[in-house]
Amino acid sequence: MTTAIGVVVTEHIVAGKLEDMRLAGETVRYPEKDDAMDVLTAVPGSELVDLLAGQIVSVASKGPVDAIGVAVPGVVRHGVVEESPNLTQLKGMRLADDLARVLSALGVNAPVHIANDADAIAAGVAATRGQLNKLTRVWTIGNGIGYGRWPYVEGVWEGGHITITLDPKERFCGCGGVGHLEGIMGYRAMRMRFLDLEPEEVFAQAKKGDQRCREFVELWHRALAAGTASFIHLAGPGRFYFTGHNVGFLDLPMLRRHLETMVKMSPLLSYSLEILPNDDATALIGAGVSAIRALAS
């Protein structure tokens, strides 16, 4: 039996123990009760490492642990968080090494693997559906737009910043780049575009027939279709999943209608699209599974 600890860092931290890739026992959460959006953004990096270690120790409960997986938002390579726009204190941290050192002092000795949060969701979906040998891709729709894939492949994979329009007026992306997917779909970007309406109101008014809002909702879906079509043309058809805080905005038939105008080559038509509930468990399982798989490589 393999034992892993999976941890997810979003606006909060959730940790749990996995036995043979299944959740065993209760998960723990910080903060324990529901939280303000930015409770973790004010915590310095070193304190965040201590917090993570405390959560991991509490779920490890003395038994042996083979690997520890932590999913964080941002660009992660070789245990280093190279970029993390929503948890800026993580940028540049050697999170795997730092966390392993603190854990070792607390009596937990196991390799620590850091994964991008969207990659962890893709791994979690693949594991829970028994398709670890298949290509699984995930879009996370929130303040930013994340792209994750399983199996893990070395690279940057900032799919949310793929260029989907040549219109020079499309400049709302959080990264500052022109024409990016996140510049149309991201929550912050939508607020900048509609200074008089919240994104929820834009989607609600589109349903009621408001012309300007309807046009935007079409653009939002066309943008996601364009990003998805690009990845189909690069890595092939297969399974695409959609999740995240704002996945409720997504109208799958509308997305499919736009995607069908963009993907025409017959070997590429066997893709599937599915909405996933926005939960922490999938990413937690994926973080643990990624850590176990990383042991073998």
Residue 237 contacts Zn ion per CB under 5 A: no
Among 77-85, 89-97, 171-179, 234-242, the segment contacting Zn ion (CB under 5 A): 171-179
Computed on alpha carbons and rounded to an integer, the radius of gyration of the chain in Å comes to 19
Burial of 113 (0-12, 13-18, 19+ CB in 10 A): buried
Least distance between Zn ion and beta carbon 161 (Å):
4
Closer Cβ to Zn ion, 128 or 230, answer by number: 230
Both structure tokens of 107 = 């009596």
Closer Cβ to Zn ion, 124 or 144, answer by number: 144
Residue 173 contacts Zn ion per CB under 5 A: yes
- Rounded to the nearest 10 degrees, the angle between the axes of helix 95-105 and helix 45-60 is 50
d(CA 208, CA 197): 15
Least distance between Zn ion and beta carbon 145 (Å):
9
Alpha helices in the chain (DSSP H): 45-60, 95-105, 117-128, 182-185, 187-193, 199-207, 211-235, 252-262, 281-296
d(CA 122, CA 134): 11
Q: Which of 177, 192, 214, 256 binds Zn ion (CB under 5 A)?
A: 177
Q: What is the DSSP string of 147-198?
A: EEEES--SS---GGG-B----TT----TT--TTBSHHHHSHHHHHHH-TTS-
Show the binding pattern over residues 111-150: x = contacts Zn ion (CB under 5 A), - = does not. ----------------------------------------
Closer Cβ to Zn ion, 76 or 213, answer by number: 76
Size of the site for Zn ion (CB under 5 A): 5
Closer Cβ to Zn ion, 135 or 173, answer by number: 173
Residues of this chain, 150-169, that bind Zn ion according to CB under 5 A:
161
Residue 263 contacts Zn ion per CB under 5 A: no
- Interface contacts to Zn ion, rule CB under 5 A: 161, 173, 175, 177, 180
